[in-house]
Amino acid sequence: MADVHIGFQRLVELHQLQLVQPLFTRSRIGTRLQREEASGREIKTWTPSYQPEDSLRGHFEFGLKYERINLEFFSRLFTTIDPEEVAGWVRQEPTGIYARRTAFYFEWITGKQLSVADCKSTVGYVDALPSDLYLTAARAERNRRWRVNNNMPGTPAFCPLMHLGPADQRDWVYDVAAGVKELDERYGAEILLRSAAWLTFKESRASFAIEHEADQEDRVKRFAAVIQEYSGHLEDAMAPANLDMLQRAVLGDAALRTGVRQSPVFVGESTFRGQIVHYVAPAEPAVEPMLDALRELEVRTREMPGVARIAAISFGFVYLHPLADGNGRIHRFLINHLLAGDGLVPPTIIVPVSATIAGTARARAEYDQVLEAISKPFMKRYADAYRFGELRKCPDGVTTDFEFLQIEDAGHVWRFLDLTEHTRYLSAVLRQTVEHEMAEEAQLLRQNDRARAAIKRVVEMPDHDADRIIRSLKESNWMVSDKLRKTLPEIFQDDGKLHSRQDRIIAAVKTAFEDT
């Protein structure tokens, strides 16, 4: 016998809703309380005493009490039901916490007002979103009509959700500030600052590798300069003027198109069989309002520094895909900018997340996989909702034949992304980057310094010559190559008198790198 669901899943079934982002929680009635995990979701079994009334009121209140919130579900449900169902619930329970929260969500999401009187001013305020479980706005706005603290991280135009779980179950949330501080204590500020230049270039090169353009050396240097100059130094990176400046700085003077796009866009690839569409970004009329909402989200979540805020803004940006070009690079720039701007790392330190993402085939696949958390179910739902028709010219000068046919329906997804998985992914990437990529670079610098000093104890020479010896010996497995012998014959010529000095140099360099 199939499970009879309760809570939010029961309402999905009653109203035949089709969600792109499935509910995280499915609740059912059984003989004992139980929680199971399956395919990244949870199944909760409740005893009969928890059985709610089989109505909007009964199941929605149960969901708000015991299940994870899904704003796409809320949005689709509220456009399907008769608003009187919510209004009637409020009339019956005018001071009820769950009735008031439901009424707030309804009006906030739909923009429509319920035909019911305002809540009495003597009723205490309740948070719209549980602040102990989700990323919320730093300072809630009081909604006097429902006596609800509007602590939603974004606005109705764009409001991703990041579920963090109870405070005692957040070991997965990486403390970037503590990780960088530990590096500073282990290696010293001077070595970290010296490594920043190489890490900046490494981050830039890796970012272009993700875009399959790592061989574009001039572009790599230009992006590195943007990271170094602007990370942590922009008061309002999402302001139109700053985004335009960043885009032009990243793309250079030869860029064909800049500015906010006014044309449809999809992420995909061309094959000999035709175009393959992996994701369709929000329709062009919604781009500027959603970009404004993303900017508002950045403001509302200030004073809430951490991985969830950075994931919301950076991944929100990449799914919005608001610019004509350069979206991926600015998405990754925003990660470093927010790390520095939020005070998690000093502005002189670059955390090369792109280097981690592009470091191995597995890491790149994991990056693609987290993006597919949204794009894959999106395209499964809208596989027949696009076509390539007549060519037309858009206001931004782009000529396209792409048409997306279910803009209004997809708005439920575009506006209300669940970026919890992206938060977990970014946390893991930052941990790997700080504790391995950055630590290894600092260790290499320290070892190089020791090797250089050891060489100079044998024979005095300029730093660049010592570094040349170190690189050559490492690459040739501690053997003197013919090239090195020719480059520095006064040290490595095949002469018995100098053999002892040569051996001492090799031993000194080898020891510096093998003694940790």
Give the distance, in angstroms, between the CA of residue 298 and the centroid of all CA atoms in the same chain.
13
Q: Calculate the CA dihedral of residues 145, 146, 152, 156 and round it to 10 degrees.
A: -60
Answer whether residue 116 is part of any domain.
Answer: yes
| 181 plus 162 within the same structural domain | no
The DSSP-derived string for 197-245 is HHHHHHHHHHHHHHTT-TT-HHHHHHHHHHHHHHTTT-TTTTSHHHHHH
Answer whether residue 449 is part of any domain.
Answer: no
Residue 32 burial (10 A CB sphere; 0-12, 13-18, 19+)? exposed
Q: Which residue's structure tokens are 């709610």? A: 52
Contacts with 497 (C-beta within 8 Å, 6 or more apart), sequence order = none
Answer whether residue 450 is part of any domain.
Answer: no
Helix H, strand E, coil C: the string for 26-71 is: EEEECCCCEEEEECCEEEEEECHHHCCCCCHHHHHHHHHHHCCCCH
What is the predicted pLDDT for the residue at 216?
A: 60
| 197 plus 110 within the same structural domain | no
- Determine the Cα angle at 284 with ends 281 and 288, to 5°: 100
Rounded distance, CA 110 to CA 81, Å?
Answer: 12
Answer whether residue 122 is part of any domain.
Answer: yes
Rounded distance, CA 22 to CA 6, Å?
Answer: 15
Rounded distance, CA 134 to CA 81, Å?
Answer: 27
What are the mean pLDDT values of the chain's consecutive 10-residue runs (516 residues total)?
Answer: 84 97 96 90 95 97 98 98 97 96 98 96 95 96 97 98 94 94 89 79 74 62 80 90 87 74 88 81 95 97 94 96 88 91 89 85 92 96 94 91 95 98 96 91 90 90 90 89 86 64 87 78
Q: Please, are residues 127 and 151 in contact by the beta-carbon 8 Å criterion?
A: yes
| 419 plus 471 within the same structural domain | no
Domain hosting 91: range is 5-166
Sheet holding 148-150, edge to edge: 126-127, 148-150, 141-143
| 72 plus 193 within the same structural domain | no
| 468 plus 331 within the same structural domain | no
CATH of the domain at 321: 1.10.3290.10
Q: 141: closest CA among 128, 131, 132, 158?
A: 128
Rounded distance, CA 516 to CA 312, Å?
Answer: 39
| 254 plus 113 within the same structural domain | no
Answer whether residue 486 is part of any domain.
Answer: yes
Q: Please, are residues 373 and 353 in contact by the beta-carbon 8 Å criterion?
A: no
For residue 147, give the 3-state DSSP assignment: coil
| 429 plus 507 within the same structural domain | no
Answer whether residue 390 is part of any domain.
Answer: yes
| 284 plus 162 within the same structural domain | no
What is the predicted pLDDT for the residue at 1?
A: 44
| 339 plus 487 within the same structural domain | no
| 285 plus 318 within the same structural domain | yes
What is the predicted pLDDT for the residue at 118?
A: 96
Rounded distance, CA 330 to CA 289, Å?
Answer: 19
Q: 315: closest CA among 335, 285, 300?
A: 335
Q: Please, are residues 483 and 494 in contact by the beta-carbon 8 Å criterion?
A: no
Rounded distance, CA 106 to CA 79, Å?
Answer: 9
Rounded distance, CA 130 to CA 128, Å?
Answer: 7
Answer whether residue 223 is part of any domain.
Answer: yes
In single-letter form, the type of residue at position 383 comes to A
| 278 plus 231 within the same structural domain | yes
Rounded distance, CA 144 to CA 123, Å?
Answer: 10
Provide the whole-model pTM.
0.90
Domain end point (choices 407, 437, 467): 437
Answer whether residue 444 is part of any domain.
Answer: no
State how many domains the chain has: 3
| 114 plus 204 within the same structural domain | no
